[in-house]
Amino acid sequence: MTGITARREGAPLSRANPFRPGFGVSPRVLAGRDELLEEFDTALDEGPGSPLRSVLVSGARGMGKTVILNELEEAARVRGWLVVRLPETGDLVEELVSTALPMLLAEHDGERAVRRRLTGAGIAGVGSLSTTARERYEVRETAATLLARLLDVLAGHDTGLLFTLDELQAVDRESVAAFAALYQHLVRDERDVALAAAGLPVGVGKLLQHRGTTFLRRAERVQLGPLSTTEVIDALRRTVTEAGGVVSEDALLTLAEVIHGYPYLLQLAGYRAWRDADREPITVAHARATLPVLSERMGRLVHEPALRDLPQAQRSYLEAMSLDDGPSSTGAVAARLGLTAQHANVFRTRLIERELITPTGHGRVDYALPYLRDHLRRLAATE
């Protein structure tokens, strides 16, 4: 097939596993996000005013939000842009003033670097006089003035500044509001800046309801959903063959079935199948053997955090659904909980908003996250 590197007969297979199942680690083959990356590339080239220069990415855990931020950062760096990763804790603006911007100016503002060296040498007493003046009349530059200076420097090189912020739902809302106000002024002044932030859907939604984040509501919203079966199979095939491996078509189909379109599971399933195959062709048996690992790892790394802060009533709704092997009747779930249909519908709505369940037809719902039913059943068995 065109674009697929076939393994030569008798050629040794590298021991290095080409799959990368760590959270936030960019895969060797990125599946299904080409359109977003291409639009962001275009936005950087179009200049100030392009709508996709401000992007809010949301999606469930394991959907590849951090990986997308990594790719957007790389797109900016390729164009010579500087990237500032904003902290997930603390004061965003204070971090810019105290650390990020001074470091960038020290590295890129040649005029100031020369001035600091001259002042430090104390030529003709200027150094000592300047130091005394600073000590007596200390002036602390603001984030706005530091950014203006840095962007002036970057403008001389036809580049700009990209801010990225991960786990947006966990950042202090007042801190985000203060940064949003700062960023808004830069956009209004037609500066070469861009912003890419990512978070869980519910958290992002609540943040945007804050009175100080009105400007961010105008950012392009990108909702990451599951990959298609075609995208999963293509990414698996390319990753395996480009590393010199072999995988059967039936194995690819089986892997796609257990992956459920989740980018994280794609990497984990591929990693386990490659490892178990031990330099032999990956078969259906290898693909099926990944299932217990996928279920356990999703439970520990995705489901437990998702359920941790869930109100007990909503958790009880999920547990009642776990008695079914497939989509649940909302009426049956209400009866199991001893609730009226109207009362149970409140919890159903909240869980849909949290993207933990999804409607599957009139009066029926199912889990939105793969292996959540298995996880809840394991918990029930240990109680």
364-367 vs 357-361, strand pairing mode: antiparallel
Beta bridge partners of 220: 55
The domain 34-112+141-223 having CATH identifier 3.40.50.720: the answer here is no
Give residue 323's identity as a one-letter amino acid code. L
Q: Which helix H or strand E contains 364, and what residues bound it?
A: strand 364-367
Complete edge-to-edge strand list for the sheet that includes strand 82-85? 82-85, 161-165, 193-199, 54-58, 220-223
Token pair for 304? 């437990």
pTM: 0.81
Contact 364, 327 (CB under 8 A): yes
Q: How far apart are CA 213 and CA 325, in angstroms?
A: 42
Q: Which CATH class is domain 229-288?
A: mainly alpha
Tens-level pLDDT at each residue, the chain (383 residues): 223 333 333 344 456 999 999 877 888 888 878 888 999 999 999 989 888 899 999 988 888 899 999 999 999 999 999 999 999 888 999 999 998 999 999 888 765 543 443 333 333 333 333 344 444 444 568 999 999 999 999 999 999 999 999 988 888 889 999 999 999 999 999 999 999 999 988 778 877 787 877 878 888 888 898 999 999 999 999 999 999 999 999 999 999 999 999 999 999 999 999 999 998 999 999 999 999 999 999 999 999 998 998 999 999 999 999 999 999 999 999 999 999 999 999 999 999 988 899 999 899 999 999 999 999 999 999 87
- As annotated, the residues of the chain forming the CATH 3.40.50.300 domain(s) are 34-112+141-223
CATH number of 298-382: 1.10.10.10
Q: How far apart are CA 193 and CA 183, in angstroms?
A: 8
Contact 210, 173 (CB under 8 A): yes
- Residue range 212-268, pLDDT digits in tens: 778 788 888 888 989 999 999 999 999 999 999 999 999 999 999 999 999 999 999
Beta bridge partners of 161: 82, 193
Contact 195, 183 (CB under 8 A): yes
Region of 309 please: left (phi>0), alpha (psi -120 to 50) or beta.
alpha
